[in-house]
Amino acid sequence: MNFSNFLLMRHEILLLAITLLLLVGEIFIHKNKKGSLVHLAIFLFGIHTAVGFLQIEESSLFGGMFRTNNMIHFFKNVLNIGVFILLLQSAEWLQEKIVNQDRGTEFFILLFSSLLGMYFMISSGDFLMFYIGLELSTLPVAALAAFETSKRISSESGIKLILSAALASGVSLFGISMLYATSGSIYFNEIVEVISASNLTVLGFFLFFAGLAFKISLVPFHFWTADVYEGAPISVASYLSVISKGAAVFILMILMFTIFKPLMHVWENMVYVVAIATMFIGNLFALRQQNMKRFLAFSSIAQAGFILLGLITGTQLGVATIVYFVLIYIFSNLAAFGVVQAISLKTGKENMDDYNGLYRTNPNLSLVMMLALFSLAGIPPVAGFFGKFFLFTAAASKGYYLLVFLAVVNVTISLYYYLLVIRAMFIRKNENPIPFFKNKLYMRLGLLITVVGILVLGLYSPLYDYIYELSSFLN
């Protein structure tokens, strides 16, 4: 056995090591300085994120169960960056509410296990590894959603998530077993050679698809989203809407563009219908939301609908535009959630009306929020515009003009409700607005990174060129 092979699993091993270090570290941390556990976690994860950018070989392990290449590597880095920002934004919450109760390590173990699951899911070379990764990525999040044990709404959120997730992964597993039945293998590279559009295979595919569609919150598998986001701690809602969704999109895209490519004539119609339903349902529900977390939940459903415009193409351009879009989406959504988090932590307020007159008292937070919403709405020159424009171009390049038209209609609807928040912050008057407060360093850093991302990612073209190059692995 050549141990250097394990270097291929560098991401996974390192993350595991960090988790263990934190476990041990907690013992040594002085009682009065419990907060330093958070510093340690951020420091270690920062190193992990940085190290992730080192080049890696393209190869596979365990007889093809685990594989990695530059694109997969890139995906993991994207997730790392997202989690890193998330940690920065959650630091204060963790220090004030969680670490004091000696539950800090618990939080990190759960969070990092889930991330580990995503790594494995993305790197999977067969359905077994995929399934293990899927479960590992979901179950800890359910525990995290129920993390604020003092709040009933949080427990409810956890229960809802675990029940829905169990159902989804069960359905997915059922689908996988059908695929095994028709192809006689669970290895991706073997399945792709024998797969054909028989009824059983197609049924298997749909069941499998439903499992991932659940994680991405596509209609009609989205019902859990708003309830869970509303109840869960904001960091966890943010994680679900950004990291978890991103990872699921990546693996779904890989599988649909490789092993299920021969079924494309079947699934492109389905993606078409699901895309339209997802965009419209997400947007129309978002129109009248008052709670910011519910609001962002529906907005994130609508955003997932846009991703399908790239998925439907099945081309290299589709891959590149999806990855680019997801990357930008991570930054924009983290910025929005970050502001909600900051305000909720300081004042406990989560309703849109509470944001009235925010610009007067907290101009910087309002500006961050405005940029985030502009980016989500796709207004140039912020990054979100480029992400959307390119997705639309990809769909148009395959002649899906009607779909693009409907998508643009949805962009306009979404603009309306994003403007509602902006109006609340900048224009509406408020007798007792949220008072001025100063964020701690970590939060400011977390927001700053997202703002830089929103401003720069769209205009910095080498990034897209790089992603486009990586996307060629599918051909």
Partner 1 sequence: MNFTYIILIPLIPFVVFLLLGIYNKKIKPAVSGYIGVTGLSTSTLLSFYTAYQYFFVHGKVNGVYQTLVHKTTWMNFTDTLAIDMGVLVDPISIMMLIVVSIISLMVHIYSRGYMKGDEGYTRFFAFLSLFSFSMFGLVLAANLFQIYIFWELVGVSSYLLIGYYYTKNSAVAAAKKAFIVTRFADLGFLIGILMVGYYTGTFDFETLNNPEGSAILNWASTSFMGLSVITWALILIFIGGAGKSAMFPLHIWLPDAMEGPTPVSALIHAATMVVAGVYLVARLFPMYYFVEDGFALNIVAYVGAFSSLFAAIIAITQTDIKRVLAFSTMSQLGYMMLALGVSGYDGHEGVGYMASMFHLFTHAMFKALLFLGAGSVIHAVHSNYLKDMGGLRKYMPITNATFLIAALAISGVFPLSGFWSKDEILVAAFEHNKLIYGVGVFVAGLTAFYMFRLYFGIFWGKNTQYKHAPHESPLSMTFPLIVLALITVFSGFIPFSEFISADKIGFETHINYPVALLSSFVAVSGIVLATIFYKKENDLSDKFAKAFGPLYKWARDKFYFDEIYMFVTKKILFNSVAENIAKFDKKIVDGTMEGIGNKTVVVSEKIKRMQSGKVQDYAFAFIAGVVIIALVFIYMLGN
CB of 173 to partner 1, least distance (A): 13
> Kind and range of the H or E element at 458?
none
| Whether 430 contacts 357, CB under 8 Å | yes
Rounded-to-integer distance, Cα 156 and Cα 384, Å: 33
- Figure out which of the listed residues 148, 230, 350, 354 binds partner 1, where binding follows CB under 8 A: 230
* 203: contact with partner 1 by CB under 8 A: yes
- Figure out which of the listed residues 412, 436, 437, 441 binds partner 1, where binding follows CB under 8 A: 412
Size of the site for partner 1 (CB under 8 A): 70
Within 110-149, which residues bind partner 1 (CB under 8 A)? Answer: none
Of 192 and 415, CB closest to partner 1: 415
- Figure out which of the listed residues 100, 101, 196, 397 binds partner 1, where binding follows CB under 8 A: 397
Of 14 and 367, CB closest to partner 1: 367
Residues contacting residue 45 through CB under 8 Å, at least 6 positions apart: 18, 80, 83, 84, 87
- Figure out which of the listed residues 102, 184, 347, 423 binds partner 1, where binding follows CB under 8 A: 423
- Figure out which of the listed residues 67, 73, 160, 346 binds partner 1, where binding follows CB under 8 A: 160
CB of 457 to partner 1, least distance (A): 12
* 392: contact with partner 1 by CB under 8 A: yes
- Figure out which of the listed residues 7, 409, 452, 456 binds partner 1, where binding follows CB under 8 A: 409
Structure tokens at 323: 């990855």
| Whether 182 contacts 144, CB under 8 Å | no
CB of 81 to partner 1, least distance (A): 21
The three-point CA angle 460-331-246 to 5° equals: 110
Helical segments of 232-362, H only: 234-239, 245-257, 264-286, 292-311, 316-347, 358-361
* 272: contact with partner 1 by CB under 8 A: no
* 231: contact with partner 1 by CB under 8 A: yes
Rounded-to-integer distance, Cα 141 and Cα 240, Å: 8
Rounded-to-integer distance, Cα 328 and Cα 457, Å: 7
* 426: contact with partner 1 by CB under 8 A: yes
Rounded-to-integer distance, Cα 448 and Cα 375, Å: 15
CB of 158 to partner 1, least distance (A): 12
- Figure out which of the listed residues 106, 227, 440, 474 binds partner 1, where binding follows CB under 8 A: 227
Rounded-to-integer distance, Cα 408 and Cα 405, Å: 5
Query: How many Cβ atoms are within 10 Å of 69's Cβ, its own excluded?
Result: 16
Segment lying near partner 1 (by CB under 8 A), choices 23-31, 87-95, 160-168, 344-352: 160-168
Structure tokens at 473: 């692995």
Of 59 and 290, CB closest to partner 1: 290
Per DSSP, the residues of 76-142 read: HHHHHHHHHHHHHHHHHHIIIIIGGGT-HHHHHHHHHHHHHHHHHHHHBSBHHHHHHHHHHHHHHHH
* 456: contact with partner 1 by CB under 8 A: no
* 393: contact with partner 1 by CB under 8 A: yes
* 184: contact with partner 1 by CB under 8 A: no
CB of 252 to partner 1, least distance (A): 15
Rounded-to-integer distance, Cα 286 and Cα 266, Å: 31
Rounded-to-integer distance, Cα 355 and Cα 418, Å: 13
Give the SS3 label for residue 427.
coil
For partner 1, the binding residues (CB under 8 A) are 151-153, 156, 159-160, 163-164, 167-168, 171, 197, 199, 202-203, 206-207, 210, 214, 219-221, 223-224, 226-227, 230-231, 266, 269-270, 273-274, 284-285, 287-289, 294, 316-317, 374, 379-381, 385, 389-390, 392-393, 396-397, 401, 404-405, 408-409, 411-412, 415-416, 419, 423, 426-427, 429, 461, 464-465, 468
